[in-house]
Amino acid sequence: MKKAVVCGGGGFIGGHLVKRLKSEGFWVRAVDIKFPEYDETAADDFIEGDLRDINICNRVFDQNFDEVYQLAADMGGAGFVFTGENDADIMHNSATINLNVLETCRKRNIKRIFYSSSACMYPEHNQMDPDNPICSEDSAYPANPDSEYGWEKLFSERLYLAYGKNHGMTVRVGRYHNIFGTHGTWEGGREKAPAALCRKVCLARMNNENEIEMWGDGDQTRSFLYVDECVEGTIKLMRSDWIGPVNIGSEEMVSINELADLIIKIAGNSDIGIKHIPGPLGVRGRNSDNRLIEEKLGWAPSQPLSEGLKITYEWIEEQAYQKYKS
């Protein structure tokens, strides 16, 4: 039986990845600082521990594994990443995790590892036009990420690729673009835009309110990828022969106003309006460029945004009713 480790396996994407690997017959060990928040882990073995601690890493990687997926990071949505208040923690915590995981895997002679990078590592100057952002893999340099979170991701990409080159490890790097879906954070400040807007629309309906708040003018653009396709792309990249970083995202770009309108329509309340307020925004435009993934893997995400949003809204609505109506 093949064995895998999912670092960050108690989190949103990691939890979905554990389930996928189990469905393929893997024995799976997950590690995270917390157990999954919304359901039981599907992992065969779950270690609750902090990967910043090298002793925890030694406990996790106590044998050889066929596949290691490194998704653990200190991260969150715009309200966490772009205020500047968490920059030192973001860089220190995530870099320490990556240094520890890589060195422990090297010592254990573990040869195949996937690292989850982010579209936040792309240069800010290529993402100022909301209608024409440039996010092809070869546009990463000259480097100029718009956040310390993005700088750490870029550093860690190079770290993983250096270990691959110097130590004979098979390293794969996926640049995630705004992943969303069920069983992810939907309140508390670390949630991403789709979850935040689903929550706001749901609570407005519950409280008979006719307005939700949105940071900025709403004209900034993004693409959003449903978590099932993220997991599919991750596994396809992990088992491919391509070495360089690859975008894992959707090319269906929408403005945040359009995203909110989609969610309001899914909720069935067309009379809910949007109040624009000041807040952290990030770049003006970002969209996945899927030419490379199509060329190298013969695959690219294809699920319409509306389908994933419907599933996600219904799940968040259920969570909100359980919490606030019970």
Backbone Cα Rg of the chain: 19
DSSP string, 38-94: SS----SEEEE--TTSHHHHHHHTSS--SEEEE------SHHHHSSSTTHHHHHHHH
Residues in the chain: 326
Measured between alpha carbons, how far is 246 from 230 in angstroms, rounded to an integer? 12
Q: Do 42 and 158 lie in a common domain?
A: yes
**What's the pTM value of the predicted model, to 2 decimals?**
0.96
Q: How confident is residue 326, by pLDDT bands cut at 50, 70 and 90?
A: low
238 in the same domain as 212: no
Using DSSP bridges, classify how beta strands 221-223 and 67-70 pair: parallel, antiparallel or unpaired.
Answer: unpaired
Residue 297 lies in a domain: no
* C-alpha 7: how far from chain center: 13
Asked whether residue 295 is domain-assigned, the answer is no
**What does the alpha-carbon distance between residue 278 and residue 254 come to, in Å, rounded to a whole number?**
20
* Same domain, residue pair 63 and 95: yes
Residues forming the active site: 149
Task: Indicate whether 63 and 191 sit together in one domain.
Answer: no
Answer yes or no: do 86 and 211 share one domain: no
Q: Is residue 101 domain-resident?
A: yes
Please write the tens of the pLDDT for every residue from 177-224: 999 999 999 998 888 899 999 999 999 999 999 999 999 999 999 999
| 298 falls within a domain | no
Predicted pLDDT of residue 281: 79
Tens-digit pLDDT profile for residues 282-325 = 899 999 999 999 999 999 999 999 999 999 999 999 999 998 87
* Residue 78 in this model has a pLDDT that exceeds 90: no
Give the pLDDT band of residue 84 (cuts 50, 70, 90): confident
Q: Is residue 94 part of a domain?
A: yes
The continuous run of DSSP H or E covering 179 comes out as: strand 179-180
CATH at residue 161: 3.40.50.720
| 218-270 confidence digits (pLDDT tens) | 999 999 999 999 999 999 999 999 999 999 999 999 999 999 999 999 999 77
Is residue 170 domain-shared with residue 309, that is, in the same domain? no
Residues 7 and 82 in one domain: yes
Range of the domain at 7: 3-179+225-248
**Residue 239 domain-assigned (yes or no):** yes
Residues 198 and 86 in one domain: no
Q: Are residues 273 and 307 in the same domain?
A: yes
Are residues 54 and 12 part of one domain? yes
Q: How many domains does the chain have?
A: 2
Domain for residue 111, yes or no?
yes
CATH number at residue 214: 3.90.25.10
Q: What is the pLDDT of residues 99-152, one digit of tens each?
A: 999 999 999 999 999 999 999 999 999 999 999 999 999 999 999 999 999 999
The reply to whether 170 and 268 lie within a common domain is no
Q: Are residues 33 and 145 in the same domain?
A: yes
Is residue 113 in some structural domain? Answer: yes
Res. 40: pLDDT tops 80: yes
User: Whole-angstrom Cα distance, residue 135 to residue 140?
Assistant: 8
Beta bridge partners of 179: 225
Q: Which of these, 51, 156, 62, lies nearest to 109 by C-alpha position?
A: 62
Instruction: Give the residue among 109, 100, 101 at the shortest CA–CA distance from 66.
Output: 109
